Amino acid sequence: MHFGEHLTIDGYEGNKDKLNDKELVFSCVNDLPGVLGMKKLSTPEIYFAPGNDLKDPGGWSGFVVIEESHISIHTFPARGFVSADVYTCQNGLDTEKILAYFKSKFDLKDIEFNFIKRGLRYPESNIY
């Protein structure tokens, strides 16, 4: 038994206009919990993050707290890149559905992902 599952997604060569669309980023973090059968505990938050002189050209960051944990997205339109996390205490996360969701929303040409089982030693009962 494990506590939960964490899917990290890095998407490449996405559509610049879609990656720079505040409403699209909002709809992703707003709608994905329902697509996955999860429950939002908050209204999604979306912020514009200005670029810096290092590796970050700026973009949109959004997140939503869900009963099962959280979903976050960070876009980098000038680089055609998006980074996203879906973390849940549920087991059996439909990774293929989530990858297809982000690929279609931002017209991604390539995706890297990591799937992590969290809390491999999660206690089976309360210890206090």
* Catalytic residue list: 69, 74, 89
Sheet holding 45-50, edge to edge: 45-50, 58-66, 69-76, 81-88, 4-12, 110-118
Q: What angle do CA 62, 10, 41 make, to 5 degrees?
A: 30
DSSP-assigned beta bridge partners for residue 87: 6, 70
CA–CA distance, 96 with 7 (Å, rounded to integer): 11
Phi, psi (rounded to 5 degrees) for 25? -60, -45
